[in-house]
Amino acid sequence: MIAGHVVRTPLVPTITLSNDAGVPVHLKLEHQQVTGSFKLRGAANALLSLDPERRARGVVAASTGNFGRALAFAASQAGVPAVICMSKLVPGNKVEAIRALGAEVRIVGTSQDDAQEEVDRLSAEHGMAMLPPFDHADVIAGQGTIGLELLEDLPDLETVVVPLSGGGLLAGIALAVKSANPRARLIGVTMERGAAMHASLRAGMPVLVEEVESLADSLGGGVGLANRHSFTLVRDLVDDVVLVSETRIADAIRFAYRQEQQVVEGAGAVGIAALMAGLIERPGRTIIVLSGRNIDMNRHAEIVSGQPAEATRA
């Protein structure tokens, strides 16, 4: 369904990380996806799966930025209106990028849940189709196309390291990879503070977590107390969840740029951060998914010119 709407991103070996970890490590360059993140896969799949009459009334979503950007692009390609609702925590560069794609932007409240209330209202009052960033079967299936590409490119993969927020990316990749290769391990990586999925997995059910600022801003936001798909999928399919500090995330952004010549945002760099910190146990043949590149470039310049933090292993 989404072939021709998204690019098939490269899987490339990384010599520096392979030497460092002592196992073959590959990077899935999904930050090179159109709109700067993997979110286009799920957004395009969900939009194209709507029946045409419903689609014509437009789509509405809450987003920390990248899903909104992807959906705005997919909607503009399909010629349907899009309204994207966001909290004040979303960086200005992301807001501007969404406006530039022709979508209407509404800034509401200070959390993803505040933004969601506006989405519910628009969908109830105007009949717009509400497409959530992760908790939707068609969105998860779209993200799963990354898993299919990984299996084609490296069928004997052993560990896939995936940035984790609401869990659509991890669930989609895990469903695809584990159905072909049940022994493959899926490791979710998220930031130390404000990680709702991690807290929810520990609690055994979706819980609320206070949102805090992080370099990995795309990993912020709750999993939704009424979560229907992604929480149980992640719970059942993930082999481990590891947490990385802000310093580690900054180091990983710098490493990606200086050693691999890749511009990645904080959320996109957490897999590298986890591997460099020695947090992935017995990794074997490993794939690290670089999930996005939508970082403010002034911020990026500051981070990559900073001094690396102590190279201590956790």
Residue 291 annotated as catalytic = yes
Distances (CA, A) of 200 to 89, 186, 197, 221, 230: 22, 18, 5, 12, 11
Only one of the segments 51-59, 75-83, 161-169, 241-249 lies at the binding site for ligand PLP (rule: CB under 6 A); that segment is: 161-169
Do the Cβ atoms of 82 and 72 come closer than 8 Å?
A: yes
The helix (H) or strand (E) run that includes residue 106 is: strand 104-107
Task: Give residues 12-51 in contact with ligand PLP (rule: CB under 6 A).
Answer: 37, 39
129 vs 264, which CB is nearer to ligand PLP?
264
- Where would I find the H helices in the chain? 15-21, 39-49, 52-56, 66-78, 92-100, 112-126, 137-153, 168-180, 196-203, 230-237, 246-260, 266-276, 297-305
Q: Which residues, other chains included, contact 232 with Cβ-Cβ below 8 Å and sequence gap of 6+?
A: none
Burial of 275 (0-12, 13-18, 19+ CB in 10 A): buried
- Lookup: tokens for 142: 């779209």
3-state secondary structure 262-309: CCCCHHHHHHHHHHHCCCCCCCCCEEEECCECCCCHHHHHHHHHCCCC
Shortest approach of ligand PLP to residue 127 CB, angstroms? Answer: 26
CA gap 152, 150 in Å, rounded: 5
Q: Which of 24, 91, 144, 163 binds ligand PLP (CB under 6 A)?
A: 163
134 vs 255, which CB is nearer to ligand PLP?
134
145 vs 291, which CB is nearer to ligand PLP?
291
Q: Which of 11, 45, 134, 280 binds ligand PLP (CB under 6 A)?
A: 134
Q: Is 94 helix (H, G, I), strand (E, B) or coil?
A: helix
Q: Which of 168, 194, 224, 271 binds ligand PLP (CB under 6 A)?
A: 168
Pairing of strands 25-28, 286-289: parallel
Q: Which of 166, 194, 224, 271 binds ligand PLP (CB under 6 A)?
A: 166
Q: What is the largest CA-CA distance in the chain?
A: 57
24 vs 132, which CB is nearer to ligand PLP?
132
Shortest approach of ligand PLP to residue 113 CB, angstroms? Answer: 15
Of 28, 37, 39, 218, the catalytic one is 39
User: Looking at beta carbons, which residue is closest to ligand PLP?
Assistant: 292
Shortest approach of ligand PLP to residue 219 CB, angstroms? Answer: 6
Tell me if 200 contacts ligand PLP by CB under 6 A. Answer: no
Shortest approach of ligand PLP to residue 167 CB, angstroms? Answer: 5
Tell me if 142 contacts ligand PLP by CB under 6 A. Answer: no
Residue 39 annotated as catalytic = yes
Task: Give residues 244-283 in contact with ligand PLP (rule: CB under 6 A).
Answer: 265, 267-268
Residues that bind ligand PLP (CB under 6 A): 37, 39, 66, 133-134, 163-170, 218-219, 265, 267-268, 291-292
Give the catalytic positions in this structure: 39, 291
